[in-house]
Structure 1
Amino acid sequence: MLQLMHQACFCLALTWYKMISVCLANGHPSITASIMAPSDLHIVKNDFGVILSWNSNITEEMETYSVKYVLMCKFDTAKEILERLQENKRIIRLGLHSGFYAKVKTQLLSKETEDVIKESNWTEFVYKAPPVYIQNLSCIIYNLFNFNCTWDIKTEAPEDAQYFLSYRYSGKEFQCQLYLINAKHKNIGCHMKEVYFNSSNPIRLNINVRVRSNSSENRSYYKRFTPRRLEKLNPPINVSLSLEDRSIKINWRKKLF
């Protein structure tokens, strides 16, 4: 009996030694409990979309690891966008679509190797955006320095709604200079002159719908585009041909405005 007790004590000591050895080798204590999935996903409005955030449910035991979040978003029929985040929130840009589907999970990674040690289950979230009151949004840059945008107003739009355009470029926001107005005194377009864009840098365009009654809340519609895809230049003017020393000479003048 005494021999069996000695053997049992030896086995317990060996097991404890192995646990300590594994802990020291990995640099972290082993996580025995399951990781709670993110909870309380909610939306807060942002200038160009929404901020999606969640409760991370991080425990003191988990803080010895590098905590990351895997976020997957899908907009209508578009491809899934998958990214790994350090914060438990993400700004999501919203275009002229109905909303998005998202899911998020927590991952624990080794601080030394970035290997995934453990992860939670997914938490899903569906955002149904408010009704979109505009359609056929179209913009063009012509003659290098002039910027035009137009849009149509849907029939279900509130009667007392008005529409305002601005764009953000190089960290600054610019308001529309001159609106195009329809017979109902609604803004349906914007003209701006003396604008200067770097052709390769994207522009964030924002159309803000302001409603002057309590029937509906204010909404913003976001569009992103690259200037060079919208540029339209005037053709040369005063084209002329002349014959000089048996050669044909072609002259023209550039029209900017």
Structure 2
Amino acid sequence: DRETLASNVSCIVYNNSLMNCTWNQGSKAPHDTRYEMYYRQGGNISQCTSYFLDEDGRQGCHVSQIEVNAENVTICVNGSSYSTLIQAYYTDFSPWEYEIFNAPINLKVLLNLS
């Protein structure tokens, strides 16, 4: 059932190499559903080791090393439940399209009135 897969999956990239992805539980996913995230860039496949938790369990992942200017990233949010099969969610994106830049620090503006 497609309504068991994670919904509203969203990722942002920041500080040139960090990524946060979040998701909501599928509308028909049982309460005991546990989601895990995997990601692939190039030939490297990794499982998330740093999850965001809320009262319903895992709702996001922090990734500490993404290559912003390299290949696309494929995300898989896979779920498991004791009572039903949970459909996996897949998406593929270019990290530089989702990068958020830090504001500059120690910025000086000089006014030349001549």
TM range (shorter): 0.7 to 0.9
**Partner residue, 2:11:** 139
**Partner residue, 1:149:** 21
Q: Does 1:210 align with 2:74?
A: no
Q: Does 1:190 align with 2:61?
A: yes
1:197, CA displacement in angstroms?
1.4
**CA deviation digits over 1:72-123, x for unaligned, max 9?**
xxxxxxxxxxxxxxxxxxxxxxxxxxxxxxxxxxxxxxxxxxxxxxxxxxxx
Higher RCO (CA 8 Å, separation ≥ 6 residues): 2
RMSD over equivalenced CA pairs, Å:
2.1
> Matched residues in 1 for 2:104 and 2:77: separation?
34
TM-score, with normalisation over the residues of structure 2?
0.85
**Partner residue, 2:98:** 230
Aligned runs of 1:82-97 on 2, under 5 Å?
none
Q: What percentage of aligned pairs have identical amino acids?
A: 31
1:155, CA displacement in angstroms?
3.7
From the superposition, tell whether residues 232 and 198 of structure 1 become closer, same or farther in structure 2 (CA, over 3 Å): closer
> Matched residues in 1 for 2:85 and 2:22: separation?
23
* Residues 3 and 27 in structure 2, CA contact (< 8 A), matched pair in contact too: no
User: Per residue, is there more helix in 1 or in 2?
Assistant: 1
1:190, CA displacement in angstroms?
0.6
Please say which structure displays the higher CA radius of gyration.
Answer: 1
| Structure 1 runs, 4 residues or longer, greater than 3 Å off | none
* Unaligned residue ranges in structure 2 (runs of 5+): none
**CA deviation digits over 1:205-234, x for unaligned, max 9?**
1111111x1x21243211111111111110
